[in-house]
């Protein structure tokens, strides 16, 4: 079931919210059980055949957590290692078995039996959530003896299919608060506002601009410079608004129940360096990789060379987590290299006292970071390495500079300059070219010039780890003007729901 669908908005969500608060007035356990059951139905609606897989994973990890809590310290590390191995083994089978077999067949130059394994939606997220819970249980940070509450923690539908990766200590104490089970007009107003802003990002921006990215990545036949960049930028903003929209919707939906989720997306394209980008993009995954992979590997405690190696290992595995393919490995390796270069440059800048916080430097740093991210997105989106390299060549001008011929009459004063640059013209495609760059300009304006959703809602504690800055623009408040604006946004979004599109992060 999709958040951006009629059945979710007008059937599932009202029934789930009403049942939760009606039962919550009688007994909190009943309300928690209702919400857990509704979350299981939400997951099974996509494909009921994978519901036993989710339930089996929940029961197994709940049992392992109970075993860990009751075991002496000497035995805990072995139980934890076995439980993590089992979780990763399940994830590896569904996500990577086909990739490894295909790679082995290519290496050995002989056919291998094909595996027709369908990737269950959300398996990465509910697996990582439970691994984090097991590690925290082993360290004595959390304990959960109530199965219904553990089931709710793992299957809670706002985060189940595309994150954020939750920690038990963040979420479940909120379900121990009696106020959570009381219907609140404030929570309904705040949650629905955040949800509809996220819905608009998804259906009005991401789905529309994505149409101009698809042709480049599906058939990149010698793309010229501007065509290649148009497709790549269209995808960069499609992914941005798709993931940002989902993150807003998850936070908004959870707020309806009086529960605040951790912030998972914080204007990452405004970052001035790649480390800042990863602190603002898929924030809970970055936190998971840092706490449960990078730091256990040694982090920065073992000298600069080991630190760079740990960064590379973490990012390559992070890339592989996003998808089974060499293109995802290259994407992760690129970001590992970016982080290593950033750390090295930061050390040099500090040593030589180079200017680092002027307006011009900040603008140039943001442009450079955004460009590097877009370059890596090519490998993230392309179906294979050959396609990615073709697009990269086009972005570098390897296939020349060309424009649709319909634009030629409008550029007559510039013809001498354009001719010296080697400008050529091709037949057709003028409408698509103009529309794509128009959408890119609109998306860039929203991304770089306007506050994000959490900043707009900054006076109402929109997310657990949100920290308000010095923003002054567009502060939401309960007023007729804001109500009318959100109503118009909601209506426009609903009119675009005739063909709901899946979120891009569902496939990861």
Task: Provide the annotated active-site residues.
Answer: 322
- What tokens appear for 72 in the block? 């002496």
Distance of alpha carbon 446 from alpha carbon 235, whole angstroms: 15
- What tokens appear for 307 in the block? 């630190």
Query: Which residue, 261, 257, 259, 215, is CA-closest to 234?
Result: 215
> Which CA distances in Å does 98 have to 69, 84, 113, 115, 506?
36, 21, 9, 6, 18
**Do 252 and 191 meet the contact criterion of CB atoms below 8 Å apart?**
yes
Other CB atoms within a 10 A radius of the CB of residue 82 amount to 12
How many Å is the Cα radius of gyration of the chain?
24
Other CB atoms within a 10 A radius of the CB of residue 260 amount to 21
Count of alpha carbons within 13 angstroms of residue 59, beta-carbon side:
6
Distance of alpha carbon 265 from alpha carbon 454, whole angstroms: 9
**Do 4 and 504 meet the contact criterion of CB atoms below 8 Å apart?**
no
- What tokens appear for 102 in the block? 């295909």
Q: What is the DSSP string of 248-301?
A: HHHHHHHHHTT-PPPP-B--GGG-SSHHHHHHHBSHHHHHHHIIIIITTTTTTT
DSSP conformational letter for 384: S
């Amino acid at each position: 079931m999709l958040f951006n669908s009629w059945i979710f908005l007008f059937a599932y969500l009202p029934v789930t919210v009403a049942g939760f608060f009606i039962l919550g007035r009688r007994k909190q356990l009943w309300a928690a059980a209702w919400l857990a059951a509704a979350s299981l139905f939400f997951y099974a609606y996509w494909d009921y055949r994978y519901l036993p897989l989710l339930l089996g994973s929940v029961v197994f990890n709940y049992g392992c957590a109970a075993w860990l809590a009751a075991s002496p310290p000497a035995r805990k590390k072995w139980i934890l290692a076995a439980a993590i191995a089992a979780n990763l083994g399940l994830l590896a089978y569904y996500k990577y078995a086909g990739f490894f077999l295909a790679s082995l067949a290519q290496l050995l130059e002989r056919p291998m039996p094909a595996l027709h394994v369908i990737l269950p939606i959300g398996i990465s997220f509910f697996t990582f959530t439970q691994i984090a819970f097991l590690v925290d249980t082993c360290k004595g940070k959390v304990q959960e003896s109530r199965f219904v509450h553990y089931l709710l923690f793992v299957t809670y539908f706002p985060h189940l299919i595309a994150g954020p990766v939750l920690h038990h200590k963040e979420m479940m104490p909120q379900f121990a608060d009696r106020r959570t089970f009381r219907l609140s007009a404030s929570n309904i107003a705040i949650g629905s506002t955040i949800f509809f802003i996220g819905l608009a990002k998804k259906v009005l921006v991401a789905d529309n601009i994505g149409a101009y990215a698809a042709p480049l990545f599906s058939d990149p036949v010698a793309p010229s410079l501007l065509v290649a960049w148009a497709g790549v930028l269209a995808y960069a903003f499609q992914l941005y608004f798709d993931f940002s929209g989902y993150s807003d919707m998850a936070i908004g939906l959870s707020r309806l129940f009086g529960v605040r989720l951790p912030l998972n997306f914080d204007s990452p394209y405004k970052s001035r360096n790649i480390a800042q980008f990863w602190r603002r993009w898929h924030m809970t995954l970055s936190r998971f990789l840092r706490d449960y992979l990078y730091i256990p590997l040694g982090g920065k405690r073992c000298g600069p060379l080991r630190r760079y190696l740990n960064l590379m290992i973490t990012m390559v595995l992070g890339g592989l987590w996003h998808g089974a393919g060499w293109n995802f490995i290259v994407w992760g390796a690129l970001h590992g290299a970016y982080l290593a270069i950033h750390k090295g440059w930061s050390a040099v800048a500090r040593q030589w006292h180079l200017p680092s916080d002027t307006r011009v430097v900040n603008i140039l740093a943001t442009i450079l970071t955004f460009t590097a991210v877009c370059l890596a997105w090519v490998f993230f989106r392309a179906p294979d390495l050959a396609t990615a390299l073709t697009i990269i060549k086009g972005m570098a001008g390897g296939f020349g500079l060309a424009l649709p011929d319909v634009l030629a009459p409008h550029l007559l004063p510039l013809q001498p300059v354009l001719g010296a640059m080697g400008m050529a013209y091709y037949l057709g495609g003028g409408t698509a070219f103009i529309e794509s760059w128009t959408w890119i300009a609109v998306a860039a304006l929203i991304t770089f010039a306007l506050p994000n959703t959490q900043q707009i809602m900054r006076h109402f504690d929109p997310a657990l780890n949100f920290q308000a800055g010095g923003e002054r623009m567009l502060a939401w408040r309960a007023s007729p003007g804001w109500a009318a604006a959100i109503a118009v946004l909601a209506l426009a979004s609903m009119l675009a729901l005739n063909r709901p599109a899946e979120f891009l992060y569902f496939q990861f």
